[in-house]
Amino acid sequence: MPNHGGPVETGGTMNNPAGVGTAHEANRAELLDAIRAAGQISRVELARLRGLNGATVSTAVRSLIRDGLVVESGKAESTGGKPAVLLSLAPDARFAVGVNLDHAGISYVIANLGGAVVGRWRRPGAGAEPPDAVVARIGSEMRTLVAQVGIDRARLVGVGVVSPGPITGSNGMALTPPVMQAWRDFPLSDTLQAATGLPVRIENDATAAAIGEYWAGTVGPTRCFAALYMGTGLGAGIVVDGVVYRGTSGNTGEIGHICVDIDGPPCWCGSRGCVEALAGPAAVVAQARRLGVDMPGLGVAEDFASLARSAVQGEKTARELIGRSARYIAVAAQTLSNILDVDLVVLTGPSFVMSSSLYVPVIHERLAHSFFARGCHPVDVLISPNAAEAAAIGGAALVLQSELAPRKSGPPAPGGRRLIRGGSRQYQRVGTGAGG
């Protein structure tokens, strides 16, 4: 699985995006990563852990302390000699903003270097506004949130903006759903950078959601997991051995565009009978309208949430519509699991916030009885505790990676850098796919 580029794998940092650096800079990143992962660690332990000599460690640590990224936080227990000084990350030394841009809503999060979310805001989506106007609004709303949280702007290292795919790594949306046609080939990265004065990274929302879930640090010891992301569309982000799998262009996991009916309805992607066209939120809402179901009529996201609430409360038509959607999405989850041999599926994204309890048992049952390798291992199905914000958190994590992740030399690992885990949010485990 060779890497062909993408925002996580680029060399350097947000302050040095060209990747022009030295062995000293690489050592700094390696050691910053190790300090963060350990919580507290001595210089001697850092040298042993990273295979570096003491002088190299001392020089790099000195510069990290000088830059305010690391602090001396105590002393280790003495073993007879002089106790070693312990080092810790200074979590509030740097911050990043994550922005989830969708026509239905724009979510903002601010995360610190330690991975904690320190600010969040949900605002109206892009709707029918011209892209230039939306980007200007994002810049203004970002400044407002940063001011409300009380962060020194000098400590902001960048913005990670995520949106529906496909995404071109250097620009923005190469192909868009019908409601966001105005964004096709819009220079999102350049325009947003001009509006915010900060470096910008672009990512597919489903991949960013997987990064956000992994960043939370509690998906457990998994070799390969997929985040099934459902916003107004449907996709998946994939992490293998701690590394995002991107494919050739960074647009993997488009499970919403698996064809499940060759004679089915046309899909905006150009195909027919796609899972999203038959069972995504927009399709479910359209089906409900045809059946005369009463909904707010404010947009796909709001109408789908209303329908999900009715289904949870036992309304017959709503339950039937959501149940049919769940069966199609379960087939997509099975297909993805069969191809990638995942051991964990996390349901995330704003459309799962209200409806996950209706989808989980259907997906679980499908995997329990139809996953090809079920005799070798189960596939767990989890509900994300931060489904509404996972993509925005992933956007911030992308930026923070550039401050934390070590710079690799030589051929890249499959998919690029290993992701770094963040906080300690707990997921609700809902069952395993063992069976059959």
23-92 and 93-209+392-404, same CATH topology = no
Residue 419: pLDDT band by 50, 70, 90 thresholds?
Answer: low
Which range has the worst mean pLDDT, 45-59, 114-128, 397-411?
Answer: 397-411
Which range has the worst mean pLDDT, 20-24, 124-128, 306-310?
Answer: 20-24
Which range has the worst mean pLDDT, 41-45, 189-193, 338-342, 408-412?
Answer: 408-412
Cα(128)–Cα(144) distance, integer angstroms:
23
What pLDDT, in 10s, does the model give residues 178-206?
Answer: 677 788 878 888 999 999 999 999 888 89
So what's the pLDDT on residue 78?
A: 73
Cα(343)–Cα(341) distance, integer angstroms:
7
Q: Residue with structure tokens 């993805």?
A: 336
Cα(304)–Cα(322) distance, integer angstroms:
9
Check pLDDT > 70 for residue 169.
no
So what's the pLDDT on residue 411?
A: 31
Check pLDDT > 70 for residue 70.
yes
Q: Which two tokens stand for residue 264?
A: 């089915």
Q: Stretch 66-71: mean pLDDT, rounded?
A: 90
Strand order in the sheet with 41-42: 41-42, 85-89, 70-75
Q: Tell me the CA distances in angstroms from 403 to 25, 30, 222, 263, 426, one per residue in order.
A: 11, 10, 25, 49, 25
What pLDDT, in 10s, does the model give residues 267-316?
Answer: 998 999 999 999 999 999 999 999 999 998 888 889 999 999 999 999 99
User: Contact, 364 vs 433, CB < 8 A?
Assistant: yes
User: Contact, 129 vs 103, CB < 8 A?
Assistant: no
Query: Is CATH 3.30.1370.60 what the domain over 221-389+420-429 is classified as, yes or no?
Result: no
Q: Stretch 150-158: mean pLDDT, rounded?
A: 92
Residue 237: pLDDT band by 50, 70, 90 thresholds?
Answer: very high
So what's the pLDDT on residue 18?
A: 41
Mean pLDDT of the chain: 83
Check pLDDT > 60 for residue 73.
yes
So what's the pLDDT on residue 11?
A: 35
User: Which residues 6+ apart lie within 8 Å of 29 measured at CB?
Assistant: 13, 404, 405, 406, 407
Cα(229)–Cα(332) distance, integer angstroms:
12
CATH number of 23-92: 1.10.10.10
Cα(48)–Cα(222) distance, integer angstroms:
26
- Delimit the domains of the chain by residue range: 23-92, 93-209+392-404, 221-389+420-429
So what's the pLDDT on residue 114?
A: 78
Check pLDDT > 90 for residue 362.
yes
Assigned CATH topology for domain 93-209+392-404: Nucleotidyltransferase; domain 5 (3.30.420)
So what's the pLDDT on residue 175?
A: 60
**197 closest CA partner among 148, 151, 161, 157:** 157
Q: Which two tokens stand for residue 358?
A: 């209706």
**407 closest CA partner among 115, 30, 24:** 30
293 DSSP β-pair partners: none
Check pLDDT > 70 for residue 344.
yes
Cα(402)–Cα(422) distance, integer angstroms:
14
- 338's enclosing H/E stretch is helix 316-340
Check pLDDT > 70 for residue 168.
no
> Cα 310 to chain center, whole Å?
29
Check pLDDT > 90 for residue 343.
yes
Q: Stretch 170-181: mean pLDDT, rounded?
A: 66
Check pLDDT > 80 for residue 414.
no
Q: How far apart are the first and last CA of the chain?
A: 31
Check pLDDT > 70 for residue 22.
no
So what's the pLDDT on residue 225?
A: 92
Q: Tell me the CA distances in angstroms from 413 to 3, 243, 245, 294, one per residue in order.
A: 7, 8, 10, 51
Greater confidence, 44 or 431?
Answer: 44
Q: Stretch 332-343: mean pLDDT, rounded?
A: 95
Residue 1: pLDDT band by 50, 70, 90 thresholds?
Answer: very low
For the purposes of burial, counting CB atoms within 10 Å of the CB of 352, is it exposed (0-12), middle (13-18) or buried (19 or more)? buried
